[in-house]
Structure 1
């Protein structure tokens, strides 16, 4: 179960995060567009074709890492999760 937990948590969090990103769409669009333009090729390879989808994914991925930290997952597991996201161009170093 532990191996699958980040994926389960990730998918569960979409039910919350996607709604929030949509609610604040106008406030997030400018920064989302700037970030997306910098990583467009990497995002498109992962089927994230616009800034909103990228934002949804980025926030969900960040919540998984935050949860792991808050619930005392071992440091190596958290580091692996963070590195996995960094390797696919979700570059949120502020989380570490």
Structure 2
């Protein structure tokens, strides 16, 4: 379940569209409730190649993106998660 992206920049960032990012995240929604928990996000972070501190980064990502503070990332909070991913996970989201 590695990230499949259109390209990788010279600094190692994976480049993908917002829709590709959403589809990639959807693979980790193990209970299929349409939301991403910190545990599910931690698994996604590990597959992105960030094995060290993946659990902590998952919690940090949910904390930073979870606008309603329910402990999950939902569709309307994806933009905040995109910001976290671009700053902390080596993923660049672009418009294709």
By percentage of residues, which structure has more helix? 1
Structure number with larger C-alpha Rg: 1
Shared fold per TM-score greater than 0.5? no
By percentage of residues, which structure has more strand? 2
If the length of structure 1 is used for normalisation, what is the TM-score? 0.28
If the length of structure 2 is used for normalisation, what is the TM-score? 0.28
